[in-house]
Structure 1
Amino acid sequence: MAWITLSLQLAWRALLAPALAVDLLRVAWRFRHRHWYRRFPFLPLPATTYVRWRMYTAYGDEAAIPPASDVIAFARWVGRQP
């Protein structure tokens, strides 16, 4: 349920700041599963094992859910990259 809450918070912030929306979409695209188009539900979603690994390396817990402020800071950083 908390991932849904995070998604809703990010969607709200993206509505308020369209430039942030572009950065969040860029991050979502980078996190997508390599062969997302071959697997149901045919959406560019990240691999579960990859997300768990990222949460473990960032927060020390595979089940961690990042705060919206961390996701936004990362998205803005990605948006500044060439």
Structure 2
Amino acid sequence: MSGTRSGASIFIAVLCRPSLWITALTQVSRLTPRRWWARAPFLPVPTREYIRFRVLTQYGERGHELLAADVLSYLRWLKDLR
């Protein structure tokens, strides 16, 4: 349940920041696996393995919840990089 809550809070945080929409959509398209519609949860989202790897490399421990503030910071960094 906490992953669902985290995903919803990230979605809402990005939704409230129109300046990050294009960057967020670009990242979603890059991170979405091919044939995503053929595998549960049937949503265009990165794989659980990828999310676990990113959480481990960012926070240094397994099981840490991905925070919306960190995702927003990452998206701002990507936007500034371009």
Distance 1:7 1:38 in 2: 19
TM-score normalised by length of structure 2: 0.72
Q: Residue 36 of structure 1 aligns with which residue?
A: 35
1:47 counterpart residue number: 47
Alpha carbon RMSD of aligned pairs, Å?
2.2
Instruction: Give the corresponding residue for 1:9.
Output: 9
CA contact (8 A) 1:27 1:78 kept: no
Identity %: 26
Moved over 6 A (4+): none
Residue pairs, 1:37-76, within 5 angstroms: 37=36, 39-41=38-40, 42-76=42-76
How much does 1:73 deviate?
0.3
Secondary structure of the 2:46 match is coil
Amino acid at match of 1:62: R
Shift of 1:12: 2.6
What's the TM-score, normalizing by structure 1? 0.72
Corresponding residue number in structure 2 for 1:26: 26
Amino acid corresponding to residue 73 of structure 1 in structure 2: S
Could you list the per-position Cα deviations for residues 23-55 of structure 1 after superposition, in whole angstroms to 9, with x for gaps in the alignment? Answer: 22222223222x234623553221221211111
| CA 53–15 in structure 1, closer or farther in 2 if over 3 Å, else same | closer
Segments of 5+ residues of structure 2 without an aligned counterpart are none
